[in-house]
């Protein structure tokens, strides 16, 4: 892990992931929701429904529904789609491309509510800023720790350090359970509903780590990732109990490559061990890689427990590194700066974020990997999704 000798920076780092929480709107227009984008690699897998749980990476508008004042509801979020949709990007997310590739319309955010949205083809329960562990468990660990100076500084920026959303993985699972209770009325009926459905569980956990990073030490810190992953594994067991037959489990992105991480540690520039060969932060990437390693081991256990269920790891980490190393060929002129932001270091500054007054996007978001310093541009999401669909689809044993 990175050194913890500068509390302010560390707090900022956790902030980063808090911000991933900023709400968005959602595809309010039918047009937008039902539009399919012709990008997905060929695959023969088509599903009746997709259900998604997770955090900002997959949030198509839940946080935006929870917090209408969220930056995700403000221009230039959604600029490529013509209006903010609640997604943390200029346009579409990976989950949108996955939906298209697997024959399902873009997923409506569950928190929009049944009166406003259709959930016949599945639902998206992912909420930006969500933690894998329940808020009560984090609170019992004293996470995130209170620092009045820091909290006060954030408040002056209109940001709140403590839980921006309480819709952690277990809350999302409750929503799924309640949705299924209303949709199918016997074990057989539910199994029938879910037998040709696809589940995405994650990615999730980055936010837990940003809290834990600031507040945990030693053995507590070492036990934290296994605890986070146990909770994810338990969620997968529960949805298999509901009747899920195909589950995709995304791992963590290389968090140390994101502008939000890099900008806060740029003062470490001279420290030779601080960056890896991609010029990403070693500490955060090691944490993400450790999460992924434990997650993959948990998936192997689950496969033994449930030999009739397809459980597939989605390698977000290497998908991102692939985009990074092919950046030039893919048309990304800037690999590490935010397209939409401000400030002198990686165009990212917590006091002046994308969506705030006077903060402008770059002229062509397709030339950037990072949209706002924390989330990816549509173009980066598209390339990530292409890479991932090519690896996931054959493992789903369709057709
Ligand atoms: C989340 O829960 C905590 C404590 O239970 C509460 O103080 C906070 O206001 C809640 N946050 C939101 C966004 O609901
Ligand atoms: C759904 O129904 C089951 C079985 O009746 C029940 O145990 C569970 O608590 C229900 N879930 C919700 C969220 O209401």
163 CA distance to ligand 1 centroid (A)? 6
Asked whether residue 3 carries a pLDDT value surpassing 70, the answer given is no
**Local confidence band at 173 (pLDDT 50, 70, 90 cut-offs):** very high
pLDDT score at 269: 61
User: What's the mean pLDDT when you consider all of the chain?
Assistant: 87
| pTM for the structure as a whole | 0.89
Q: What is the share, in percent, of the chain residues with pLDDT greater than 90?
A: 72
**Local confidence band at 270 (pLDDT 50, 70, 90 cut-offs):** low
Mutate which of 135, 141, 165, 170 to test ligand 1's pocket (most atoms within 8 Å of Cβ)?
A: 135
**Local confidence band at 265 (pLDDT 50, 70, 90 cut-offs):** confident
Ligand 1 within 6 A of CB of 288: no
Mutate which of 125, 176, 178 to test ligand 2's pocket (most atoms within 8 Å of Cβ)?
A: 178
pLDDT score at 96: 98
As beta bridge partners, residue 24 has 72
For residue 314, give the 3-state DSSP assignment: strand
pLDDT score at 247: 98
166 CA distance to ligand 1 centroid (A)? 6
Q: For residue range 281-325, list pLDDT tens digits in order.
A: 998 999 999 999 999 999 999 999 999 999 999 999 999 999 999
Residue nearest to atom 1 of ligand 1 (CA): 166
Mutate which of 159, 163, 164 to test ligand 1's pocket (most atoms within 8 Å of Cβ)?
A: 163
Of the candidates 25, 29, 93, 27, the one whose C-alpha atom is nearest the C-alpha of residue 64 is: 25
Ligand of minimum distance to the alpha carbon of 174: 2
pLDDT score at 147: 75
Range from 31-35, 82-86, 155-159, 221-225 carrying the lowest mean pLDDT: 31-35
Domain 7-396 grouped into CATH 3.40.50.1110 = yes
Residue nearest to atom 8 of ligand 2 (CA): 177
Ligand 1 within 6 A of CB of 138: no
Ligand 2 within 6 A of CB of 178: yes
Q: Encoding tokens for residue 141? A: 């660990």
Q: Is 113 left (phi over 0), alpha (psi -120 to 50) or beta?
A: left
Spatial contact of 323 and 94, defined as CB atoms under 8 Å apart: no
Ligand of minimum distance to the alpha carbon of 130: 1
162 CA distance to ligand 1 centroid (A)? 8
Question: Which atom of ligand 2 is closest in space to residue 180's alpha carbon?
Answer: 1
Rounded mean pLDDT of 248-257?
97
Q: Encoding tokens for residue 245? A: 């037959």
Q: Encoding tokens for residue 228? A: 């986070």
Ligand 2 within 6 A of CB of 44: no
**Local confidence band at 145 (pLDDT 50, 70, 90 cut-offs):** confident
Q: For residue range 60-102, list pLDDT tens digits in order.
A: 999 999 998 899 999 999 999 999 999 999 999 999 999 999 9
364 CA distance to ligand 1 centroid (A)? 38
Asked whether residue 6 carries a pLDDT value surpassing 50, the answer given is no
pLDDT score at 399: 62
Q: What is the largest CA-CA distance in the chain?
A: 62
pLDDT score at 327: 97
Map out the domains of the chain as residue ranges: 7-396
Mutate which of 110, 178, 179, 181 to test ligand 2's pocket (most atoms within 8 Å of Cβ)?
A: 181
Ligand 2 within 6 A of CB of 177: yes
Residue nearest to atom 4 of ligand 2 (CA): 181
Rounded mean pLDDT of 133-158?
81
Give the integer Cα–Cα distance in Å for 376 and 88: 8
Q: For residue range 31-51, list pLDDT tens digits in order.
A: 333 333 444 456 778 999 999
174 CA distance to ligand 2 centroid (A)? 9
**Local confidence band at 394 (pLDDT 50, 70, 90 cut-offs):** very high
pLDDT score at 30: 30
List CB contacts of 294: < 8 A, sequence separation 6 or more: 225, 226, 229
pLDDT score at 330: 97
For 128, 236, 265, 306, the CA distances from 380, given in Å and listed in that order, are: 18, 28, 24, 34
Q: Which helix (H) or strand (E) holds 237?
A: helix 218-242
197 CA distance to ligand 2 centroid (A)? 20
Asked whether residue 350 carries a pLDDT value surpassing 90, the answer given is no
Residue nearest to atom 14 of ligand 2 (CA): 178
Give the integer Cα–Cα distance in Å for 377 and 332: 11
Asked whether residue 29 carries a pLDDT value surpassing 60, the answer given is no
Ligand of minimum distance to the alpha carbon of 171: 2
């Amino acid at each position: 892990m990175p050194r913890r000798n500068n509390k302010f920076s560390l707090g900022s780092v956790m902030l980063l992931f808090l911000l991933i929480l900023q709400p968005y709107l959602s595809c309010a227009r039918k047009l937008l929701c039902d539009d399919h984008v012709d990008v997905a690699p060929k695959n023969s897998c088509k599903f009746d429904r997709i259900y998604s749980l997770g955090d900002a990476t997959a949030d198509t508008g839940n946080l935006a529904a929870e917090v209408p004042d969220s930056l995700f509801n403000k221009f230039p979020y959604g600029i490529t789609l013509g209006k903010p949709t609640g997604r943390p990007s200029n346009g579409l997310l990976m989950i949108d491309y996955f939906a298209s590739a697997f024959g399902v319309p873009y997923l409506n955010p569950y928190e929009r509510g049944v009166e406003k949205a259709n959930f016949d083809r599945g639902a998206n329960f992912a909420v930006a800023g969500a933690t894998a562990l329940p808020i009560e468990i984090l609170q019992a660990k004293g996470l995130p720790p209170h620092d009045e100076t820091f909290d006060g500084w954030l408040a002056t920026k209109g940001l709140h350090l403590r839980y921006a959303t309480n819709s952690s993985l277990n809350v999302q699972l409750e929503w799924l359970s309640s949705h299924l209770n209303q949709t199918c009325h016997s074990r057989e009926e539910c199994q029938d509903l879910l037998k040709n459905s696809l589940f995405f569980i994650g990615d999730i956990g980055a936010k837990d780590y940003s809290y834990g990073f600031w507040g945990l030490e030693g053995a507590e810190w070492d036990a934290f990732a296994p605890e986070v992953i146990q909770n994810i594994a338990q969620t997968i067991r529960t949805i298999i109990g509901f009747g899920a037959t195909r589950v995709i489990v995304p791992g963590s992105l290389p968090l140390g490559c994101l502008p939000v991480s890099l900008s806060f540690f740029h003062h470490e520039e001279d420290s030779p061990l601080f960056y890896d060969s991609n010029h990403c932060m070693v500490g955060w990437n090691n944490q993400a890689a450790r999460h992924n390693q434990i997650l993959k081991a948990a998936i192997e256990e689950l496969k033994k427990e449930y030999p009739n269920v397809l459980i597939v790891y989605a390698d977000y980490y290497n998908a991102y590194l692939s985009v990074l190393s092919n950046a030039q060929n893919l048309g990304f002129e800037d690999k590490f700066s935010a397209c939409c932001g401000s400030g002198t270091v990686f165009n990212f500054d917590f006091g002046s974020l994308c969506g705030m007054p006077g903060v402008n996007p770059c002229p062509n978001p397709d030339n950037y990997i990072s949209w706002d310093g924390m989330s990816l541009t549509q173009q980066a999401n598209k390339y990530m999704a292409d890479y991932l669909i090519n690896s996931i689809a054959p493992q789903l044993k369709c057709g």
